[in-house]
Amino acid sequence: MSAEGFDYRTRTNGEVAIFHHGKLAKMMRDAEAQKFLDAIKGGDAQEVMAAAVGNDGQMARPGSQATSSTSLHGNGEAHPHQEFRRKSG
């Protein structure tokens, strides 16, 4: 079975965030982030992201989330905007 459901975004400061089914799975910085970006160019992106996150059954840490989705630049598979409306009464 191949890996699926992964997406990554880069920040202008060089950080890379990997998401799995829309939830932050891993944040990388510096050399780790650059190594990941180099690996994406040379292989199956889904497999590279799965390997970077690890296959331990817990793809996202509880309570983890991106700090600001507007500062992330995607790989073409951006998460759709959702409107939330407060229920009245």
Contact 18, 66 (CB under 8 A): no
User: Which domain does 31 fall in, by range?
Assistant: 6-61
Predicted confidence (pLDDT) per residue in 14-43, tens digit = 999 999 999 999 999 999 999 999 999 988
Percent of the chain at pLDDT > 70 equals 61
Whether 15 is in a domain gets the answer yes
More confidently predicted of 65 and 3: 3
Q: What is the pLDDT of residue 4?
A: 86
Whether 50 is in a domain gets the answer yes
Band of residue 78 on the pLDDT scale cut at 50, 70, 90: low
The count of domains in the chain is 1
Is 70 exceeded by the pLDDT of residue 66?
A: no
Whether 81 is in a domain gets the answer no
Whether 31 is in a domain gets the answer yes
From its phi and psi, is residue 76 left (phi > 0), alpha (psi between -120 and 50) or beta? left
Whether 43 is in a domain gets the answer yes
